[in-house]
Structure 1
Amino acid sequence: MPRYAVPLLTCVFALVFLGTGVAHAAKLEVDPDAPLWIKLATDALLYAHIGGGAVGLASGVAAIAARKGQALHRLAGKVFFVSMFVTYLIGAGVAPFLEEGQRPNFVAGILALYLLITALITVRQRGPVRTNWRHYVGLATALGITLMGVVFMYMGANSATGTVDGSPPQAFILFIVAGSIAAFGELNVILRQALSYTARISRHLWRMCFSMFIASGSLFLGQPQVFPESFNQTAWPFLLAFAPLIALIVWQGLLRLRGRKLRTA
């Protein structure tokens, strides 16, 4: 984890501690009669979460569009990491304190954080990636996320409402698919004891794009109330939500094509 992640982590958890009074709220809101310090802490968390997500999506688009490895791509990638780190950490940190069930949101936040952090660690390593303790921790995290997806699907299918905290069983396929792919990737590094340059870039690419997809999907499909109804009735919410995955497919194809050219050169 980069050096600036530690102070960020400390600040966010301090805000979570100060904002534990939001536990009685249905969302990240408080009663009008709540103490001032609770209101300030809640507002700080809310605006940091929303602002971080907005900056993260904008910088993510810039990072995807920019030429890879160039100054703009690196700068946009750093901004994306910091802003999304704050957003995901607040989402995962606050979810357990809310009165309404937020178990799926908590796991989604952990998944997004895991993908974001491992993507950055991967690309910052010079030369072939070597196995270390991070891959074992990553494997355990990925397997845990996959297991939670299976558990949530079972709980939703057998609950009276047919959901888990408002989410249908089908929604948890995301946890199973992403967790399984991530676990396979960690296991691949552990067994091979190394990753080539092309595999390292591929690992970075899919983790960053999938992490961004969690944010774009949460915004464009999970928060329709912030957009005009005329916009929601079009295909744009789906296109924008799945844009990171479309970009992932395109860049993975270009990466494989480049790899073939290098092998035949």
Structure 2
Amino acid sequence: MTLLMGIHIAGGMVALVTGAAAVAARKGGALHVRAGQGFVAAMLLLWLTATLLHLRDGKPDSAVGDLFIGYFVITSWLAARRHDGTTGRIEIAACVLILALSAIIAWGAFAGTARPTPVGLGPVFVVAGFCLVAGLLDLNAILRKALTPVQRISRHLWRMCSAFFIATGSFFLGQQDALPEAVRGSPVLVVLAFAPFAILAVFLVRLRFGRRLRSVLEALRA
């Protein structure tokens, strides 16, 4: 194992721990903020080391895909930091980047130059579409000038959970050789890998409908 790979693995482990801590902690509290900062730092380290590893191994297309990590982490962090809901030059640059990445991936799939997955090019088109949606949401945020608190927090949540999925999916699905043989191929690993999206759904429902649900419950108790 090279030093670079060791740093990459260590960054991934820190990302898993800090990401889980940020999810479990009270939102807006000191632990949530500190865990979130640790998660951002660990994910940026993952981005850097993954890019260097892919370039070293002669996989420039994978290095381009690594841009997802930086994109989701940085835009999510900015959404949390910009309490007034505004966007700036970094968001504009991120929007241009992700839309260009969507076009490149889609073109590669249509032209047949993209590296196929074990199940064909379908997932490649899905990734291209996901990039397009993310870019359009960026454009919407930029054109709005200022997001409402619910819109800003929603933007932070879905982007941070997408970044968290990159960490969980890469470990629980992509690194099963490093896990005990008894759990390899287990459905539990799939659940753990996709857990960030389930967490995202719960928090988005609470964020957008929490007050209404509490009102209904209070009315039922009365």
TM-score, scaled relative to structure 1: 0.73
* 8 A Cα contact 1:95 1:106, kept in partner: yes
CA displacement at 1:132 relative to structure 2:
2.3
CA displacement at 1:230 relative to structure 2:
2.5
Which residue of 142, 161, 166 corresponds with 1:214?
166
For 1:65, the aligned partner's letter is: A
Tell me what 1:146 maps to.
Answer: 102
Q: 1:147-178 CA deviation, whole Å, 9 max, x = no partner?
A: 233134235xx46xxx7176642332453243
SS at 1:130 equivalent: coil
Which residue of 146, 152, 164 corresponds with 2:115?
164
Q: What is the percentage of aligned positions where both structures have the same residue?
A: 32
Two-structure CA RMSD over aligned residues (Å): 2.4
Tell me what 2:35 maps to.
Answer: 76
Structure 1 stretches of 5 or more lacking a match?
1-28, 30-42
Distance 1:246 1:107, change over 3 A: farther
CA displacement at 1:102 relative to structure 2:
4.9
Which residue of 114, 122, 128 corresponds with 1:176?
128
* 8 A Cα contact 1:108 1:175, kept in partner: no
Q: 1:73-123 CA deviation, whole Å, 9 max, x = no partner?
A: 111101111111101121123312313x351x2233101111101111110
For 2:22, the aligned partner's letter is: A
Distance 1:237 1:153, change over 3 A: farther
Tell me what 2:26 maps to.
Answer: 67
Q: When the two structures are aligned, how many residues end up with a matched partner?
A: 215
Matched, 1:90 2:49: yes
* 8 A Cα contact 1:123 1:200, kept in partner: yes
Matched, 1:54 2:13: yes
* 8 A Cα contact 1:154 1:169, kept in partner: no
For 2:187, the aligned partner's letter is: A
CA distance in 2, matches of 1:96, 1:72: 36
CA displacement at 1:188 relative to structure 2:
0.7
Query: Which one scores higher on RCO, CA 8 angstroms, separation ≥ 6?
Result: 2
CA displacement at 1:255 relative to structure 2:
0.8
CA distance in 1, matches of 2:67, 2:88: 21
Tell me what 1:109 maps to.
Answer: 66
Matched, 1:235 2:187: yes
TM-score, scaled relative to structure 2: 0.87
SS at 1:242 equivalent: helix
For 1:150, the aligned partner's letter is: A
CA displacement at 1:194 relative to structure 2:
1.4
Tell me what 1:11 maps to.
Answer: none
